[in-house]
Amino acid sequence: MEVPLTPLALCQRGFDLYPGRAAVLDDGLRLTYDELRRRIERLAGALLGLGVERGDRVALLAPNVVEAFECYTAVPLTGAALVPLNVRLAPAELGYILDHAGARLLIAHAPLLPALEPVLRARPGLRLLTVGGRVAGLPSLEEAAAAAEPLPFDAERVGERDLLSINYTSGTTGRPKGVRQTHRNNFLNSVDMMLALRLAPQDVCLHVAPMFHANGWGLIWATLGAGAANVMLAKVDPGEIFRRIERYGVTLFGAAATVLTLCLEHARAAGLREVPGRGRVRWLVGGMAPPAEVIRRVEEELGWRVVHLYGLTEVTAFITWHEEAPGESSLPAPERARRKGRQGVALPLAGRVRVVREDMSDVARDGRELGEVVARGNVVMEGYHRDPEGTARALAGGWFHTGDLAVWHPDGEIEIRDRAKDLIVSGGEKIASLEVEGVLYRHPAVAQAAVVAAPHPLWGETPVAFVVLREGAEASPEELLAWCRERLPHFKAPTRVELVRELPRTASGKIQKNMLRQRLRESPGASAAEPPAGASAGAPPA
């Protein structure tokens, strides 16, 4: 009596139970669950009619638009594997991924076609379909779907261990790696999202985190399984986030912590007395470890409740969450935010999570001893595409090695202290960049902060901070240095603070510390980013 564990089964549940409910809400568009089902069946039928076969790879280059949302279900329904592409990649990187994945077909959002010209010119055999607008001389997926024979929706068309997607990492330390995720991986991750977020038919999810990043964190299929509505956001814009929250009655969205700093700054600059969604919106934070001060500000200033989850693409988005303890909601705001800043315990269906020493023995559960987070279980990737050596290193000893350094608390929760590559070693002393950033975030003038290692002739490395000030705020580098030295052991305090207009970020909102480190190595005495016109003021990132 077994049926495959696939996110298609969650979609089928939604289609069967909630045919008349709103599934998608977008400017000028409202799709019920029944209408969405028929559109997906036609898209899948069009792909089959174009020669897509089981096991083929279909690439998708699109922001968070309705057509992309549909492709995350239509492509797997055919038995093919989806290859989501980061819309901010350069043509050379896009070309590498298309070749490495072996994509036979590319579905591209029409406004992105100019950037694709060199990619397509170098690959005349790559088939192209456009979505989101008609382009003269080019076939569109919408036109193909209109003429196609629908493929009846049946979640049992696939096997649970079939490849659902190849998700390429950002490639901050070299060539992007293709993470092979199965239907089983994504089903269990999506159900964990349903449980952790307590999704219900009354929910309205705003898709802020890019869908191409770990398949929208599983929220695409989790919301459909719960009968919730979905609202698209093609580009991160805090004003547009507030507008859509108010217009559509949004109750949930997921985004990296840097996106929330933009929302905080926008609310402050706009002088909002009544923040849309106050007391109603749940913010799912993932990606970089969120500073406790950002969590406090979001809950106090915006009135949105923070739900903190932790993971990586290699674990199909998430593997732990901070599960609130009884009485935690009544704690003072700073203490509640500090606890919510922890990465927490394993999600119910994810598997096991440990913090280990180099010999793979567990660290003490004392909240002090540092070790690497490792995981094994149902959401861990199948492996890296066409990279057996990388797969063997990542899964050495039967555990996935995250590269994140954490402590293990007596109550079983883990707390990330830093990425292994971001740890600063100065004169033999280890400095966690997240700890220093947490102190900077407590300064009332600081909107964003990133601390990285700079070369030092005597100590080997020294911490340098790059800070974006809140709009209209003033603080000198000397003031921020003194602030840190008053609150940290002297060796942990930055030796230099640079005020910058913006910090380099990935499309998912993660700060690209590798770029800051590289610029410091190339110009040890210079700023790693353009300083503001005035020495004491910064603007929020674009």
Phi, psi of 49 (to 5 degrees): -65, -25
Answer whether 382's CB lies under 8 Å from 180's CB: yes
Closest CA to 17 of 3, 34, 42: 34
Three state DSSP letters for 52-84: CCCCCEEEEECCCCHHHHHHHHHHHHCCCEEEE
* 20 neighbors 32 (Cβ within 8 angstroms): yes
Q: Compute the Cα dihedral for 342, 343, 345, 349 and give only its sign.
A: positive
Relative to beta strand 305-310, strand 320-321 is antiparallel
124 Cβ neighbours under 8 A, 6+ residues apart: none
CA 195 to chain centre: 19
CA–CA separation, 214 vs 314, rounded Å?
9
Largest CA distance in the chain: 71
The end-to-end CA distance of the chain, in Å, is 53
CATH number of 423-522: 3.30.300.30
Residue among 303, 305, 231 at smallest CA distance from 274: 303
Give yes or no for a contact between 33 and 23, defined as CB atoms under 8 angstroms apart. Answer: yes
| Alpha carbons 80 and 67: distance in angstroms, whole number | 17
pLDDT computed for residue 529 by the predictor:
39
The pLDDT assigned to 51 comes to 96
Is CATH 3.40.50.12780 the right assignment for the domain spanning 1-10+31-189? yes
- pLDDT for residue 475: 96
- Long-range contacts at 44-48 (CB < 8 A, ≥ 24 apart): 44/74, 44/75, 44/77, 44/78, 44/150, 44/151, 45/145, 45/148, 45/149, 45/150, 45/151, 46/141, 46/144, 46/145, 46/147, 46/148, 47/74, 47/75, 47/78, 47/80, 47/105, 48/78, 48/148, 48/151
Rounded-to-integer distance, Cα 364 and Cα 408, Å: 7
Kindly give the residue spans of alpha helices, DSSP state H, lying in 78-175: 91-101, 113-121, 141-146
Average pLDDT per run of 10 along the chain, which is 542 residues long? Answer: 96 98 95 98 97 97 97 98 93 95 97 94 96 90 95 98 94 77 98 98 97 96 98 95 97 91 91 93 87 91 95 96 93 93 96 97 97 97 97 97 96 91 84 91 94 88 94 94 93 94 81 88 55 30 30
pLDDT of residue 528: 39
C-alpha pair distances (Å), 17 with each of 21, 34, 145:
9, 10, 25
For residue 353, which of 413, 294, 301 has the smallest C-alpha distance?
413
Alpha-carbon distance 410 to 368, whole Å? 10
DSSP H helical ranges for 204-248 = 219-226, 238-248
Residue 396 CA neighbour count, 13 Å, CB half? 10
For 407-438, give one letter per residue: b (16+ CB within 10 A) or e.
Answer: bbbeeebbbbbbbeebbbebeeeebbbbebbb
CA atoms within 13 A on the CB side of 352: 7
0.85 exceeded by the pTM? yes
User: Which residues contact residue 2 at a Cβ distance below 8 angstroms, ignoring those fewer than 6 apart?
Assistant: none
Rounded-to-integer distance, Cα 380 and Cα 71, Å: 23
How far lies 190's CA from each of 165, 382, 484, in Å?
14, 17, 41
Angle formed by the axes of helices 219-226 and 183-197, to 10°?
Answer: 60
Report whether 406 contacts 389 (CB < 8 A).
no
Q: How many residues are there in the chain?
A: 542
For 147-275, where are the alpha helices, taking DSSP H only? 183-197, 219-226, 238-248, 257-270
Q: In terms of CATH, what superfamily is 351-420?
A: Luciferase; Domain 3 (2.30.38.10)
Residue extents of the structural domains in the chain: 1-10+31-189, 351-420, 423-522
